[in-house]
Amino acid sequence: MTEPTISVEGLGFAYPDGTVALSDVDLHVHPGERVALLGPNGAGKTSLVLHLNGILLPQKGSVQVSGLELTGETSAEVRRRVGLVFQDPDDQLFMPTVRRDVAFGPLNLGLDHDEVRRRVDAALAAVDIEDLADRPPNHLSLGQRRRAAIAGVLAMEPEIMVLDEPTSNLDPATRRELAAVLLSLDITLLVVTHDLPFALEVCERSVVIDHGAIVADGPTPVLLANTGLIKAHRLELPYGMVLG
């Protein structure tokens, strides 16, 4: 087994009002894995993701990305290594064209224009939106904007990409296209989702978090076939969908 690209050990965090968001969380994600992070609203998924991206710092325990421990001094480098795709792509798209949006991050790294062009072209091709490069993001469909946001993260060449509810408000055909895109990417993925069929399609492994603690971790088909587990943690498969 390779060394984990993300290693979370005994992570604890409480917000200023005293709300405990995370309690003794252990999580290891290895290079090339596609992992779904499942749990009801308020379970701690967002708090965990914000630690992985260096936005929140551990109050207890540790977070390491490729061996680099997350601290105030290393948070910028951790953020570079872990790319976060927000649930609402409009939070990430603000330039006049898709191409300029995708180029924004690499340009801010101070890369030369040839390298920026290479990264932008590769990112657009990876999500199959080269034909949209010169379109304004606000003229695109939600699914297209979501792909553009993913391309912007890919252009930064992170070691892991975290997606927050990537299928939110997508129609079935667009959802299916997004799954195909994610399956084609050669990058470690952590997918935060309530969409259990999408988790089953895209992620070979799932982690269930509830009340700030990880309660299950294993192969996605095995976890989703455990009806007691699913019910206990307020997760739901579509009506009529039976596993196992």
Q: If DSSP states are collapsed to H, E and C, what string results for 55-99?
A: CCCCCEEEEEECCEECCCCCHHHHHHHEEEECCCHHHCCCCCCHH
Q: Supply the mean pLDDT for the chain.
A: 93
Instruction: Report the Cα 95 to chain-centroid distance in Å.
Output: 22
Give 167-170 contacts, CB < 8 A, sequence gap 24+: 167/193, 167/195, 167/198, 168/87, 169/142, 170/142, 170/143, 170/146
* pLDDT bucket at 236, cuts 50 / 70 / 90: confident
How many CB atoms neighbour CB 242 within 10 A? Answer: 7
DSSP annotation of 3: P
Give the whole-angstrom CA distance, residue 4 versus residue 228.
Answer: 30
- In the chain, the percentage of residues whose pLDDT exceeds 70 is 97
Contact in structure between 38 and 208 (CB atoms under 8 Å): yes
The predicted-structure confidence for 13-26, as pLDDT tens digits, reads as follows 999 999 999 999 99
C-alpha count within 13 angstroms, C-beta hemisphere, residue 78: 24
Pairing of strands 20-29, 34-38: unpaired
The predicted-structure confidence for 89-100, as pLDDT tens digits, reads as follows 999 999 999 999
Give the whole-angstrom CA distance, residue 70 versus residue 55.
Answer: 10
DSSP annotation of 45: H
The predicted-structure confidence for 83-132, as pLDDT tens digits, reads as follows 999 999 999 999 999 999 999 999 999 999 999 999 999 999 999 999 99
Cβ within 8 Å of residue 20, ≥6 positions away: 12, 13, 14, 212
Tell me the mean pLDDT in the region 209-224.
96
- Between 40 and 238, the higher pLDDT residue: 40
Contact in structure between 2 and 31 (CB atoms under 8 Å): yes
Contact in structure between 46 and 55 (CB atoms under 8 Å): no
DSSP annotation of 56: S
Report the pLDDT value the prediction gives residue 3, as an integer from 0 to 100.
87
Largest pairwise CA distance in the chain: 54
Residue ranges of domains in the chain: 6-91+158-232
Structure tokens of 216? 């299950």
- Which amino acid, 228? G
Contact in structure between 205 and 35 (CB atoms under 8 Å): yes
Q: Which CATH number fits domain 6-91+158-232: 3.40.50.10190, 3.40.605.10, 3.40.50.1220, 3.40.50.300?
A: 3.40.50.300
Report the pLDDT value the prediction gives residue 242, as an integer from 0 to 100.
62
SS3 241: coil
